[in-house]
Amino acid sequence: MRLETTRIDIGTTRPLVLLNTVDATELGAHPLDRLRIEENGTTTGIVKVTDELVEQGVLGVTEPLHHVRGPIDVALAGTPQSVQYVRKKLNDIELEDDELEAIVKDIHENRLSDIELSAYVSAVYANGLSLQETKHLTRAMTDIGRQLSWDAPVVADKHSIGGVAGNCVTPIIVSIVAAAGLTMPKTSSRAVTSPAGTADVVEVFCDVEFSMDEIESIVAEANGCLVWGGGVDLSPVDDAIIRAENPLSIDPPGQLMASVLSKKRSAGSTHVVIDIPYGEGAKVESLADSRELADDIKRVGAHLDVAVTCAITHGTEPIGHGVGPVLEARDILAVLHGEGPESLRLKSVRLAEMLLTHCGVDASAADILESGAALERFRHIVAAQDGDPDVEPDDLEPGSESTTVRAERSGVVTSVDNRQLCDLARRAGAPKDSRAGLVIHKSTADPVEPGDDLYTIYAETGNKRAAAETLAADREPIRVRSKTDALVEQR
């Protein structure tokens, strides 16, 4: 069939094509079928059928296919072989190397529909990946994208598996390690299940999207960088998978390992510290599971020739006071100034010390931070990434809409639930609304009197503030019990 084309903008990253119902009937095409488009080679689109958006004889093409110009010839195309492999994984059957490679290739080439990609993510979440599958998936995800290389024999890196509110240690660690003379080109993801990924927080200070050449220039100037990995095609399949995971708020362990380590290998990292928080409300809830995950991560890292060490840290409550891009950015600056939340300072120093030791550098992370060298290096990196190096904590204002949740009785804080706090911050608009989120006023074991502030919700609109308040009314992210009840809970 020969059709004219028209551009359609419906805000999708998928290569969708819109067929009029009459044309679809003639072709025998149904929604989610593939359409082969002959135009300077062969391109494939995923079918949507409509009565009104396009006329008979016209093919609507979405942004990924805007290069297609009519008139063009179209015909039905077969379903990608990788869809069978997704179905195989749904049936809890281990995938072969070539089957994983086919899935990765088809994700990269946008040949899977949103439903098929979600099915893949759901299959991995429900049935898991074996260590062998994880190794081959990681290698396939690494090989499909571009890779950075560096002259330095040791290239430092750090990553957290997430799940802890306000865990914004990375910019502090990069500043310390780069100030110690190591090369640390930190590429980070945006948020998956959290109210702020590292890239979301750093974007408060400066640009995070750069070309390969620009990243190399920034690192040459500042010893390090804090950029979004998705902007330079490093393990690009990971970003497509993250987009599918995000609405489901899932991050299965095998896919998590493949995600983290494919990005580290693609960034040219040689020595990596992986932070694995564990505890109630974290992604990994038991110490035994965290140790098992650490062992698996190190095995997959060795498969990629990346030296990995893991820090198993307590993740039962937030690190820092702020949750959300701007609020976490304020905590970062405060710690670099020698102030700020003590929990954030201690964890940053501990992980930086581990990374320096892992890289064979004899230097004190605490001394570098306290001397002001880390703050100076952070400002250098921000300036190199087109930001304002002189920004101060008070310059970063949260959303204008706020409400504070207060204690209704006296007692003691017996728990602070990361997952609930993250849910509240996301309901308030984070990370999309950079000034949205929470400020946490109490920690576990703190004494509480009636009327004491527990946490404050910030939003950029009244509707989102109200939505977060409604959720807060059904949750208890900061649990207060009488001293007697608290003793009973401890037993």
CATH class of the structural domain 2-77: mainly beta
Q: Which residues are catalytic?
A: 251
- Residue range 401-490 forms a domain whose CATH class is alpha beta
| Cβ–Cβ < 8 Å for 265, 187 | no
Domain with CATH 2.40.40.20 in the chain: 2-77
28-32, 264-268, 281-285, 471-475: segment of lowest average pLDDT: 281-285
pTM (two decimals):
0.86
pLDDT of residue 488: 53
Report the alpha-carbon distance of residue 221 to residue 110 in Å, rounded: 36
H or E element: which one contains 83?
helix 82-90
Note the pLDDT of residue 487.
58
Position 274 pLDDT exceeds 80: yes
Do residues 188 and 161 touch, judged by C-beta distance below 8 A? Answer: no
What superfamily would CATH give domain 83-128? Transferase, Pyrimidine Nucleoside Phosphorylase; Chain C (1.20.970.10)
The proportion of the chain whose per-residue pLDDT surpasses 70, expressed as a percent, equals 98
CA 404 to chain centre: 28
In the chain, which residues fall in CATH 3.90.1170.30?
A: 401-490
Name the segment(s) of the chain with CATH classification 3.40.1030.10. Answer: 156-393
How does residue 486 score in pLDDT terms, banded at 50, 70 and 90? low
pLDDT band at 192 (very low <50, low <70, confident <90, very high): low
CA distances from 213 to 46, 148, 218, 266, 338 (A): 34, 10, 9, 15, 34
Going by pLDDT thresholds of 50, 70 and 90, the confidence category of residue 428 is: very high
Q: DSSP labels for 225-293?
A: EEEEGGGGTSSHHHHHHHHHHHHHT---HHHHHHHHHHHHHHTT-SEEEEEEEESTTSSB-SHHHHHHH
Confidence of residue 490 (pLDDT cuts 50, 70, 90): low
**Res 210: pLDDT:** 93
CATH for 156-393 is 3.40.1030.10
Count of C-beta atoms within a 10 Å radius of residue 64: 16
